[in-house]
Structure 1
Amino acid sequence: MELVLPEDIYVIVNPPEAMRLERAIAMRQDSPLTCVSLVASAPVPDDVLAKAQLLVVEVDPADRASVRRIAQIRSARPRVPVIVALQDANVSVVRTLVRQGVNDVATMPFDLDELSAQLLDLAVQSRADAADHLPLSPLIAVVRSNGGSGATTVATHLASAMGARRGGRGTCLIDLDLQFGNIAAFTAQSGKTSVVDLLEAGSRLDSEFLKSAVIDSGHGFMAICAPEAITPLETVDVDQLLHLLAVARREFECVVLDLPANWTGWTLSAVLAATDIVLICDLSVAGLRQAKRRLDLFDTVGLPRDRLRLVVNRVEKRLFRTIGVEEVRETLGQPVYATLSADPASLGNAQDQGMLAWEINRKSRFGQDIVALAQRLDEARGD
């Protein structure tokens, strides 16, 4: 992703330096810098202070009126990033200015390439600092008890149902099944940038980079897809994953994770970061056995049971069943949070067409159960 400077960057310097810099800027048609020609003792114009996203301000340390510019800026715009331009940047002066809230120091006369690099670094840091103050939205991790439990189907439908309950930034579904992820196939969509690209982005990963990877599923939620090529699970860095989740939770009103069947340190870290862990199991003996193993693992790592939402999938509405919902609670020692009806006809037709159950059948029993699950998850948080 190409990093670009924000608009409304003002460089306030003496007339000779302003003329020299304007000539350099004129040779670059895409430069967002605007020169303001002022002697070092003149106050910064109010209209410049009101519009500036970044400021470069000349200061003469020997002139008290010039030094007062910094106090003027900090009083009017306490959070606007500021670079001070000095003719002679000695250590003592720099320390004094930093204590006054200056973000960086540039030397005059300017080298436009160096100044642009400083401004870009400051813009990236400013965006990161602003993001750090945003609250984190709910993070719902969908966990499968065993392969074939229908967890991806639940994740896609749940993301759509959560998205329908939200305006604004909406819901994002992240496919963390790096080897067998099917979100792109389920939604009949694909993107050029995968979740692995985000995990490998390092310090470049911010809100703008995240948005470059997000695709519109066409089903009421945004999605970040797994890579097309199989990726070794051990290549994921835990810190980078947690950073990705934090960026996504600040960008969207709800984030849903589709996790792989295999357990690693980073998948456990993702679950521990979640506000709700939706554990999908079915009524088979094998499914319940694997669900019990997942619960034991969560207990081992200290995951609070009150964040666990045990959801039984493919429940048939018939009188006689070998295993019932009550037996699930007794076997697993965990209350059943919700049940999802078996609806093979609607789901089969929907998946063949890259659609969701309620888009094929408005009265889909599975779809109605998912909507009820989304509502209960929201109501538990008071949303």
Structure 2
Amino acid sequence: MSKLADTHSSGFDALDGFDLDDEFLDLDDGRPGPQLTPPPAAAPMSVPAEAAFVQAAPPVVATPSALNPVSGAVEVAIPRIAVHVFAERQDTAAAGERAGQDRRMARAATQIRLGGVQAAIEAYQNEPTPPLVIVESLKDPQSLLAEIDQLAQVCDSGTKVVIIGAANDILLYRELMRRGVSEYLVAPIQPLQLIAAIGGLFADPAQPFVGRTIAFVGARGGAGASAVAHNTAYAMSERIGVNTVIVDYDLPFGTAGLDFNQDPLGGVADALKQPERLDATLLDRMTVRCTDKLSLFAAPATLDADWDFSPDVFEEVTGRIRATAPFVVLDLPHLWSGWMRRALISADEVVVVATPDLASLRNAKNMIDLIKQGRPNDAPPRLVLNQVGLPGRPEIPVKDFGAALGVHPSLIIPFDAKVFGAAANNGQMIIDSAAKTKPAEAFETLAQIVSHRELPTAGTQTRGKAAAGGSSLLAGLFSRKRA
């Protein structure tokens, strides 16, 4: 079994010209495979750890206190691997434990041990090494290199090693890279920083990016979560100008097809039936192009089948769709099941839509508490209060509603039966049918909040016109062909 030190002579001259001002990572270093698989990414050590290894968050629009920017947001897909962490300090072990509990690491199995490099060397004398080993050493550079040479003698071929050290030294970094170390992080580290480093090592080169998922769910039936989701997605695509996909997971009763005046024959149901066959071409055939920047995976909205799929199938389909667009809006039904729980926990952003009544308050609190517990490293879910100001209905004051949940409402949408009713019956979005109204303004604001993007200036803003399925929505509603 060859040592990592044997790779010293293979050369790593590409780093000699590395620009210390570069923020992002070089995805192809061209080195041959040594004892420990060389990294697909390398970052200069002179850059602070917080900036070097955590993906920069997109610009955040300056809206009211509803907009709480998520610092250091990380969007990665980590495969089913085993990760062993050998820490020397308690705070490093705690960071590794929190990272292992993160939703992005749900498919990985993480073990945390104390003892640093020496503990790893002793452990792997009698057991195989996992795909990823993370070790911490607070020793001086020369002692660290000596320990890494010892670790190389017990590591299996193909194992990636990440070092957490105390020295912010570019020469040490280059020497570690020459020895085949996959990544070097400077202590202290944060959970999201560690997750970003792991995600970079196991990034799929065939998948250029991972889209951001935004899940909308109603606190109770009739809260208007679907209408909020569809109008927000439309504002993201047509006002902000980002490519967006809507996925209607309310299979028997979904309204996305109605809201956009579309009558798809397949859609998301076809994708769920054959997740293993999904590729870019097949996904494109299953989508309906509403505008140049908005696509729709509509629900079948029929009761011909039970639509009983496993959580893994929903996760697989969502993952495939994320590779097709920067933003994926999930329109989730008002039900509770294993796949619903997983969808809420794994989404990059969760929006809970509630009405100002007691049932919504109870259900929203249960949802928000569960989501907070399952997403310890993420911002809390966003709360949208809908249908506020319904004539004749006693309502819980907005201030009291937010105080009871511990989450301040990100947006308050006033009740306007005429505006919403006309848009729904005509298969239009609010920003098109009633652009000057308060609900239209609210959806533009919410689009900025969840996408972390600002509205373009008036001179560059373009609007796509939703494709109509026919001259009348109701005329073709029941003309769908049955299999």
TM range (shorter): 0.5 to 0.7
- Could you tell me how far 1:210 is from its partner in structure 2? 0.8
Picking from 210, 221, 234, the partner of 1:160 is 234
In structure 2, relative to structure 1, the CA distance for the partners of 1:339 and 1:304 (3 Å cut) is farther
In structure 2, relative to structure 1, the CA distance for the partners of 1:213 and 1:258 (3 Å cut) is same
- Could you tell me how far 1:370 is from its partner in structure 2? 0.7
In structure 2, relative to structure 1, the CA distance for the partners of 1:219 and 1:322 (3 Å cut) is farther
Structure 2 CA distance, aligned partners of 1:253 and 1:149? 27
The answer to whether residue 418 in structure 2 is matched with residue 352 in structure 1 is no
In structure 2, relative to structure 1, the CA distance for the partners of 1:379 and 1:228 (3 Å cut) is closer
- Could you tell me how far 1:380 is from its partner in structure 2? 7.5
Picking from 208, 224, 227, the partner of 2:297 is 224
The answer to whether residue 246 in structure 2 is matched with residue 173 in structure 1 is yes
Q: Which runs of 5 or more residues in structure 2 are unaligned?
A: 1-202, 457-483
The answer to whether residue 266 in structure 2 is matched with residue 190 in structure 1 is no
Structure 2 CA distance, aligned partners of 1:130 and 1:207? 15
Matched with 2:365 is: 292
Picking from 212, 215, 239, the partner of 1:138 is 212
In structure 2, relative to structure 1, the CA distance for the partners of 1:321 and 1:263 (3 Å cut) is closer
The answer to whether residue 275 in structure 2 is matched with residue 202 in structure 1 is yes
CA contact (8 A) 1:275 1:307 kept: no
In structure 2, relative to structure 1, the CA distance for the partners of 1:371 and 1:189 (3 Å cut) is same
Please say which of residues 325-334 and 136-145 is displaced more in the overlay.
325-334
Cα deviations by residue, 1:159-204 (Å, 9 ceiling, x for unpaired): 1011125557x11100001121111111110212221210111321
CA contact (8 A) 1:163 1:220 kept: yes
In structure 2, relative to structure 1, the CA distance for the partners of 1:381 and 1:293 (3 Å cut) is farther
Amino acid of the structure 1 residue aligned with 2:237: G
Please say which of residues 214-223 and 284-293 is displaced more in the overlay.
214-223
Amino acid of the structure 1 residue aligned with 2:253: F
| Paired residue secondary structure (2:413) | strand
Picking from 332, 353, 363, the partner of 1:259 is 332
Q: Which protein is richer in helix relative to its size?
A: 1
Structure 2 CA distance, aligned partners of 1:303 and 1:182? 33
Structure 2 CA distance, aligned partners of 1:355 and 1:287? 27
Q: CA RMSD in A?
A: 2.8
Matched with 2:444 is: 371
CA contact (8 A) 2:431 2:440 kept: yes
| Paired residue secondary structure (1:336) | coil
- Could you tell me how far 1:295 is from its partner in structure 2? 2.2
Picking from 402, 416, 422, the partner of 1:343 is 416
Matched with 1:150 is: 224
Matches within 5 A, 1:278-289: 278-289=351-362
Structure 2 CA distance, aligned partners of 1:232 and 1:269? 20
Structure 1 CA distance, aligned partners of 2:374 and 2:235? 30
Amino acid of the structure 2 residue aligned with 1:144: G
- Could you tell me how far 1:328 is from its partner in structure 2? 1.0
In structure 2, relative to structure 1, the CA distance for the partners of 1:167 and 1:365 (3 Å cut) is closer
Please say which of residues 273-282 and 241-250 is displaced more in the overlay.
241-250
Matched with 1:238 is: 311
- Could you tell me how far 1:283 is from its partner in structure 2? 0.8
TM-score when normalising by structure 2: 0.48
- Could you tell me how far 1:280 is from its partner in structure 2? 0.2
Amino acid of the structure 1 residue aligned with 2:437: S
- Could you tell me how far 1:136 is from its partner in structure 2? 0.9
Structure 2 CA distance, aligned partners of 1:381 and 1:200? 38
Structure 2 CA distance, aligned partners of 1:209 and 1:310? 35
- Could you tell me how far 1:138 is from its partner in structure 2? 1.2
- Could you tell me how far 1:296 is from its partner in structure 2? 3.5
CA contact (8 A) 1:160 1:219 kept: no
Cα deviations by residue, 1:214-248 (Å, 9 ceiling, x for unpaired): 00235962100112323435x21322322221221
CA contact (8 A) 1:198 1:244 kept: yes
- Could you tell me how far 1:297 is from its partner in structure 2? 3.4
Picking from 250, 255, 259, the partner of 2:323 is 250
In structure 2, relative to structure 1, the CA distance for the partners of 1:206 and 1:219 (3 Å cut) is closer
Matched with 2:346 is: 273
Amino acid of the structure 2 residue aligned with 1:148: G
Structure 2 CA distance, aligned partners of 1:215 and 1:268? 27
Structure 2 CA distance, aligned partners of 1:356 and 1:163? 12
Structure 1 CA distance, aligned partners of 2:426 and 2:223? 21
Cα deviations by residue, 1:318-342 (Å, 9 ceiling, x for unpaired): 9x97422111111112222221222
Cα deviations by residue, 1:56-101 (Å, 9 ceiling, x for unpaired): xxxxxxxxxxxxxxxxxxxxxxxxxxxxxxxxxxxxxxxxxxxxxx
- Could you tell me how far 1:316 is from its partner in structure 2? 2.9
In structure 2, relative to structure 1, the CA distance for the partners of 1:219 and 1:372 (3 Å cut) is farther
TM-score when normalising by structure 1: 0.60
Q: Which runs of 5 or more residues in structure 1 are unaligned?
A: 1-127
Structure 2 CA distance, aligned partners of 1:317 and 1:265? 34
CA contact (8 A) 1:193 1:212 kept: no
Structure 1 CA distance, aligned partners of 2:342 and 2:336? 10
CA contact (8 A) 2:448 2:454 kept: no
CA contact (8 A) 1:343 1:365 kept: no
In structure 2, relative to structure 1, the CA distance for the partners of 1:336 and 1:220 (3 Å cut) is same
CA contact (8 A) 2:247 2:297 kept: yes
In structure 2, relative to structure 1, the CA distance for the partners of 1:375 and 1:153 (3 Å cut) is same
Structure 1 CA distance, aligned partners of 2:380 and 2:389? 26
